[in-house]
Structure 1
Amino acid sequence: MTIILTINNQRVVAPEGTTILEAAKAAGIRIPTLCHHPDLSNVGACRLCVVSVEKMKGLQAACTTPIAEGMVVNTESKDARDTRRVLLEMLLSDHPNDCMKCEANGDCELQDLVYEYDVPWPEDMGERHAYPVNPDPNPFIFIDRNKCILCGRCVRACAEIQNRDVWTFANRGFDTKLVAGIDQFLLDARCESCGQCVAYCPVGALYDKMSLGAGRLSQISKVRTTCSYCGVGCNFDLNVRDGKIVRVTSTHDAPVNGMALCVKGRYGYDYVHHPDRLTRPLVRKYLLQGGKKADDGGRTTEDEHPGRRSSALSRDDFVEVDWNVALDIVARRFATIKHESGSDALAMLTSAKCTNEENYLANKLARQVIGTNNIDHCARL
Structure 2
Amino acid sequence: MKEITITINGKTCSAPEGSTILEAARYNNIDIPTLCYLKEINEIGACRMCVVEVEGAKSLATSCVYPIREGMKIVTNSERVFQSRKINLELILSTHERKCLSCIRNGNCELQRLCKDFNVDDEDYYNGENYEYDFDDSAVHMYRNNNKCILCKRCVAACSKVQAIGVIGSNDRGFKTHIGCAFEQNLGEVSCISCGQCIVVCPTGAIAEKDQTKEVWEALEDPSKYVVVQTAPSIRVTLGEAFNMPIGTNVEGKMVAALRRIGFDKVFDTNVAADFTIMEEATEFLNRVENNGPFPLFTSCSPGWVKYCESYHPELIPNLSSCKSPQQMFGALVKTWYADKMGVDPKDIFVVGIMPCTAKKFEVTREDEAAAGYSDVDVALTTRELARMIDKAGIRFTELEDEAFDNPLGEATGAGYIFGATGGVMEAALRTAVETLSGEELQALDFDEVRGMAGIKEATYEVNGIEVRVAVASGIGNAKRLIKKIQNNEAFYHFVEIMGCPGGCINGGGQPVQPASVRNFIDLKAKRAAALYVEDSARKLRKSNDSPIVQHLYKEFLEYPGSEKAHHLLHTSYRDRSVVHHS
TM-score, reference length from structure 2: 0.43
Structure 1: 5+ residue stretches without partners: 216-223, 229-233, 246-260, 286-320, 327-351
| Cα 1:270–1:105 shift into 2, 3 Å | farther
1:62 aligns with 2:63: yes
Instruction: Give, in angstroms, the shift of residue 18 of structure 1.
Output: 1.0
Paired residues of 2:159 and 2:167 also in contact (CA < 8 A): yes
Q: Partner of 1:24 in structure 2?
A: 25
Letter in 2 for 1:131: Y
Q: Show the 5 A alignment for 1:62-141.
A: 62-123=63-124, 125-133=127-135, 135-141=136-142
- Contact kept, 8 Å, 2:42 with 2:154, in 1: the verdict is no
State the 1:280 CA deviation.
8.8
| Pairs aligned (count) | 287
Distance 1:269 1:169 in 2: 37
Distance (Å, rounded) in 2 between the aligned partners of 1:111 and 1:80 = 19
Structure 1 residues 91 and 262, CA, compared in 2 at 3 Å: closer, same or farther?
farther
The corresponding residue for 1:177 is 178
Residues 106/6 of structure 1: CA separation in 2 closer, same or farther (3 Å cut): same
Q: 1:126: how far off?
A: 2.6
Deviation for aligned residue 1:263: 3.6
Deviations 1:126-177 (CA, angstroms, capped at 9, x unpaired): 32221112x2411112100000000010011111110111221111221111
Q: Distance in 2 between matches of 1:105 and 1:195?
A: 19
Counterpart CA distance in 1 for 2:163 and 2:327 is 24
When residues 56 and 177 of structure 1 are mapped into structure 2, their CA distance, relative to the original with a 3 A threshold, is same
Partners of 2:130 and 2:151 in 1: how far apart? Answer: 15
Matched-pair contact (CA < 8 Å) for 1:51–1:80: yes
Instruction: Please list the CA deviations of residues 231-269 of structure 1 after superposition, one character each: whole Å capped at 9, or x if unmatched.
Output: xxx975486795269xxxxxxxxxxxxxxx86489xx99
Match of 1:193, SS? coil
2-structure distance, mates of 1:211, 1:107: 20
CA spacing shift, 1:283–1:368, aligned 2, 3 Å:
farther
Match of 1:226 in 2: 233
Most deviating of 9-18 and 66-75: 9-18
The structure that is helix-richer by fraction is: 2
Larger Rg: 1
Taking the aligned partners of 1:269 and 1:74, their CA distance within structure 2 comes to 53
1:248-263 aligned at under 5 Å gives the runs 263=304
CA contact (8 A) 2:52 2:61 kept: yes
TM-score (norm 1): 0.63
- The 3 A distance-change label for structure 1 pair 171 and 3 is same
The question of 1:368 aligning with 2:439 is answered yes
Q: Quote the residue 1:277 is aligned against.
A: 334
Change (3 A) 1:376 1:110: same
1:356 has 2:424 as partner: no
State the distance in 2 between where 1:14 and 1:145 align.
39
Contact kept in structure 1, 2:140 and 2:188, CA below 8 Å = no
CA–CA separation in structure 2 for the residues paired with 1:108 and 1:181? 28
- Tell me which residue corresponds to 1:302: none
| C-alpha distance 272-56 of structure 1, shift in aligned 2 (>3 A) | farther
Change (3 A) 1:280 1:10: farther
- The Cα RMSD (Å) is 4.3
Cα distance in 1 between the residues matched to 2:336 and 2:14:
56
* DSSP-derived class of the 2:432 partner: helix
